[in-house]
Every structure is written in structure tokens, then in C-alpha cells.
Structure 1
Amino acid sequence: MNIANTTSVTVFVLAGLEIQDDLQVISFLSILLFYIVTMAANFFIMIISMFYSNLHTPMYFFLYNLAFLDICYSSVVVPKMLMDLISQNKIISFWGCMLQVHCFHFFGSTEIILFSAMSYDRYVAIAKPLRYSTIMNYKVCCSLALCSWVIGFSHALIHFIMTSRLPFCGPNVVKHFFCDIKPMLYLACADVSLNFNLLAGVTGTIVVTTLILTLLFYVFISKFLIKIKTWQGRRRALSTCSGHFTVVSLQYGTAIFTYIRPSTNDSLDQDRSAAIMFSVITPALNPIIYTLRNKDMKNAMKRLLRLSQ
């Protein structure tokens, strides 16, 4: 299909959050605060992971990747959303919209695949502590991370190609605060059943498969935790997993709610509420959860603060 011949819409208008005027300033300041926390906290984790040699371990290698993903993931959506909150002109170009679709699903799907790699790392650390450094060597860690990025990019590319080739010749108001696949499909002037099937099939397969793998690793971890006789030993093992499991629960819960349940036009408002969680709130909470739950991170943070004084 030739996009030049079938696409008459060259720009889209984002509906935004559709909140009352008297709440726009509060919403702007709240979202801006979360974005600042996301940027500062994730950059902080990246810097600490790079410059402290005792954190040069597989766990912090994956945490570095996660922090970078959270920065990119949030930056795809939040800056434009902040601009739209203080502007009457909520326009985005056609290809700007398609690029947002691609980047959002690229970073989002890469992140949930990375969660499975991180859960495998925690399983090896608890189940095979003596062989941990041998099993989770640098080559294995890089391979798992690279695999996450490649699969995430390929998944997003499928949706980018399938969405950008659709004809948009009618309404151009996207019922969302950013360009996501589902609200875009409702604006297309063609049969989009294949696109919805791909969304449920491909995205659903990635979400469900990685979730099952993550849960399986935690089932295996729980079996080994039972074998640990001392409470102190169990507590130390749990401290390395609790932060990751909390983050996984937040991310998968909203992803399943948004992309796997049946799609209707009325469900877009619910999708918009869920999107605030995984694009604004979760990227800010991730580094806080990992920092507060992690003894090594807290010690590194104290040392960094002492050096700055």
C-alpha cells in the first residue's frame, strides 16, 4: 500500500488528559515532579552502577539497563504531555506519531523481556551461589540484554510498519495523551482486524510468555528459600528479590490490563488511566524501590553523599 496515495491526514490532534481547566496546573506540576524524579533517580542508579566496582555484578548490569530503559520510556511520552497541558495546540505530525508508537513499544517490550532476564539472574544467585559468577558471566549477561533489546525492537517494528501503512482519511483526534496503537487503529479508514489480532497475538505472547517465565523462576526461588533454615539467610535472599518482584507486578499488571483484554471504543478512557501508571508513575517508582530495598545501593548512596560534602 502506498502511504502517499492513501493518507490524507498529515497531522493528528492529541485529546490529552481531558481534565478540568482548574486542575491543569496541579496535573502539570505533579507529572513534572514524577518526570524529574524519573530522570534524577535513574541517572543516579546508572552513575553508581558504573563507578562503584563492588556493583560491577550481573544484577547491577541489568539494573543499569532497566534505568536507561525507564529514562527513554518516560521521555517518549511525558515531555509532549507536559507541553500539551500548557498549550492549546496539541498537534503531532503523522510520522512523529508513528515514531512515538514505535519507541513506546520498543522500550516497553524490551523492559518486560529484561524483567525475565533479571528474574533468571536472581534464581541463579539463590539456587547456585557457588557457580553464580561462572553461569552469569559477562558474555551471558550481554547476550541476555542484547536479546531483550533485539526482540523489543523487532516487536515494535512490526506495529510501526502495520500502523503506518494504514490509510487515515477521516477524523484525526487521537483519544489519548500520546500516540498508542489502539486509539490510532480506531481512526483508520480500513479494516484493522489484522492489526488488533497482531496486538493481542504478538504483544500478548510477549507479555504472557515473559510473565510465565518470571513467575516460574520465582517459584523455583521460593523452593530454595524454604530450604534456608535461618531467618537471617531467608531475609538476605528475599531482599535481593523483593524489589524486582514489586516492579514486575506494577509493570505487568498495567500491560495486561491495557493490551490483552478485549478492545472497545469505551475502553480507551481506561487505557489512558493505565498509561499514566506505566509511563509516568512506574518509571519514577522503579529506582526508588530498588534503592530502598537494596543494601548495596544504600551503602553506595551514603558513600556518594559523604564524598559530595
Structure 2
Amino acid sequence: MTYPPRAPFPATRLRRVRSHDWSRRLVRENSLSVDDLIWPLFVFNGSGSQEIPSLPGVLRWGTDEIVDVAKRAVDLGIPAIALFPATEPGLKNEEATEAFNENNLVCRVTREIKKAVGDQLGVILDVALDPYSSHGQDGLVENGVVMNDETNAVLRQQALVQARAGCDVIAPSDMMDGRIGEIRSALDDHGFANVQVMSYAAKFASAFYGPFRDAVGSAASLGAADKKTYQQSPSQSDEAIHEVALDLAEGADSVMVKPGMPYLDIVARVKQTFGVPTFAYQVSGEYAMLRGAADAGWLDGQAVMLESLLAFKRAGADGILTYFAADAAEALA
């Protein structure tokens, strides 16, 4: 958009409106509230909580505590949580069969959370095989190749067991071609027309995911392998728009860009191009950098947390998945 010129200095002094807090608030172009936050939570099959060394301040929650954490999210006014399982190694195999076990960890936990808080809190569950596969890939692997269509058939099953468990939003994060249409049709055909699909539509093969893989236990499984044959190259921008367009055409209700801050240009392009609900994931590496610098005393932790989240809103994001969600909610209260 092009704006007409303003009068030159000294008739125009842009500092006038910055002179007082009340004035700055009156002309604020973008704002951040608790309504913009989604809280990613890690859960394990056990009691208590576990620290994650590469994610300072973030815990894996045992099945005896996760419901209380969900209740805390409700109390803080956070609209939704995203659950990620730390699957026991003995339950992982080449076919990732635990992904479509109706009594797997996230399904059991989702039922308990929805029983406790109902519709006061949205529950988002990822659809991908990496937490359940012994090879750490998001899809089925044959002769070293991640198979697309064969994976989609399994993702359909995974989405259905999650919907039956009561989750509100299915979030396919696998980046297989055509999986949104497969999942949407499976949900509709089995009576889950009201379950939303939030597509990880523009997910990049990023180096910022390391702490997350530590948290869910997929780093050791993946080893030296990578996900570059299905996640997008960081060099691509136009391709991200095509990915989003395809997912919307297949029935996605909302789309996500991941990672977040290194890809704010993608967030802005997606929102400007499609005008649909657009989310961004402030991923584990982003969080760890900011939190680590704050813990070392190099940055003002609360200030950079809120500034970084506001940057997503300025770029056009409707909401942000962030490990800062609880801290941000308290700061914004």
C-alpha cells in the first residue's frame, strides 16, 4: 500500500505521538493478548515431571500432572494447548503402529483433559509418525525412501483415533503431499466434520528443531538422517505459497508456518495472499536461544519474550504456538 506524503519537518514531528504512554497506546497498530497463545506441552507415561536440558524451563509432564497443567492453561485464559508425546522406546517400530493405537499416550491424556475441562480449552494433536517410528522419520520408510501415499494411509488412521479421543484440532505436521485431503475426508466420513484441521502447511527443514526432538525422544532415532525430502528448503518462498494453496484446497481450516521468527516473511506472505487463519510456531530452538540468553543475564527475558511474540502479530499471524505461553499469559494479565 502506498500512502500520500506528509508535511515535511518541522510541521510533521512523528515523535509527538510517542511522547506519552497513553498516546502510544491510542495509535498502536498491533497488539498481543492471551487470546493469541497456544501452549505446546510434552507428556510422558509416568508420574511427576522431567526437565529437558536443551529447553530450560520447559518440562515433560507425567500423566498424573498433565490435567492440572491443562487446568492452569484454562485459568490463565490460554485458548488451546498442543500435546506432544515422549513415546517409550519399546513402543516404537518401523511401521509406527503406536501412532494409531486408540489407547496411546496422547489419546489417553486427551480423554482425561477433555473430561476435566471440556470446551474451556482446545486440544490440538499432531499427525505425524516421528514420535512413534524407530527411524525418527515423519513417514513410513522403504529402502531408505520416505513413502508418501503409504504414509497418508497411516495418517488417516492416526487422525481418526485422535478425533475419537476427543481432540478439537488435527494438526498434520508431516508434510506429505495430499495428506490434508486424505485426513479431511476420513474425518468427514466417520462423523467428525466439526474437528478442525490446522495444517503445518509451510514447514521447513530447519536446524531450529533440535530441542524439540530431544523432548519427544526422536533425535536418537533420527540419528544423522534428515527430513529434506519432504520438509521445505529454507531457500524457498514461492514454494511455501503453493504448499499453503494446496492444503487450503484440500480442506485445511487454518495453516501454520514453522519455524517462526526466521520465516516472518512467509507468515506475512501467507496472510496477505490468502487471508485465512494463519499461525506460526515459535519453535524450540527459538525459545532456547531467548531463554538461554535471558538466564545468562544477557537479555531482559520478559521484554524479549513479549517483543518476539508481538513480531508474529505484526507479520500477520493470528496466533502463536510458543513455549512462553504461560509466562506470556501471566505478563499480559
More strand by share: 2
> Which band: TM-score by shorter chain?
under 0.3
Q: Under a length normalisation based on structure 2, what TM-score does the superposition of the two structures give?
A: 0.26
Q: Under a length normalisation based on structure 1, what TM-score does the superposition of the two structures give?
A: 0.27
More helix by share: 1
> RCO greater where, 1 or 2, for CA within 8 Å and sep 6 or more?
1
